[in-house]
Each structure stands twice: as structure tokens, then as C-alpha cells.
Amino acid sequence: MSASSSLEGVISVLEEISEALQDGRWHGEEEIAQALNLSTELVQKVVRFFAKYGLVESQVFAEKKFRWLKDAPGLPEALMIVRTVSLEPMQTCSAIASKLERGK
């Protein structure tokens, strides 16, 4: 498997999970995993990644559930932000925001 097809597979999973979360309803990790035919462990990693970068919020009911934040950026913009921050961690937030604005 080539690196580009591997990356495409990762992005495809991120897209599937983000789409499932964007309906405004709360979703449990197991529920998402079953609906998308993915492992619960993979879904846990992805939703926690989304939560780490402020894209989803979580709430504990009988189990921990997640949903996409209404004012969070879409997945492509979020991935660009994560990439920019990871490549240039020493820049200030304003410098990163300026760079992202120019990239639009």
C-alpha cells in the first residue's frame, strides 16, 4: 500500500466519522463504530483527536457521547489547521491565523 493510498484511507475514515457527528445529535463511540462498520477503538481515537482540536464536544450521559461543534470548521480546514500547527509549533496564533487566511 502506497503512502498516498494510506493517507487517502485515513482521510476517508476521518470524513465518515465527521459526517456522522455533524447532524447535531449526540453519538456514542460504539454507535458510530457500528453504523460505519469500524472498530470502536478506531472511532475512539478519531473522536478524541477531534475533541483535542476543539472540533467536537463531549457529554457523559449513560456513556460518553460526542457531536460536532456548530461553529467548528469543516474537516478540510481543521486538517489544514492541525497540519500548520504541527509543522510550525513555535509561531504565534496570530501568525498562524494570518497564514491560514492567505491560504483560502
Residues 41-53: pLDDT tens digits? 999 999 999 998 8
Mean pLDDT of the chain: 83
Identify the structural domains of the chain with CATH numbers, from first to last: 1-69 (1.10.10.10), 73-104 (no CATH)
Q: CB–CB of 21/27 below 8 Å?
A: yes
pLDDT at 24 over 60: yes
Return the number of other C-beta atoms located less than 10 Å from residue 100's C-beta: 15
pTM of the entire predicted model: 0.62
Q: How far apart are CA 18 and CA 41, in angstroms?
A: 16
How confident is the model over 74-97, as pLDDT tens digits? 888 888 877 777 776 666 666 666
What proportion of the chain, given as a percentage, has pLDDT over 90?
Answer: 38
Among the listed ranges 26-30, 35-39, 65-69, which one has the minimum average pLDDT value?
Answer: 65-69
pLDDT at 8 over 70: yes
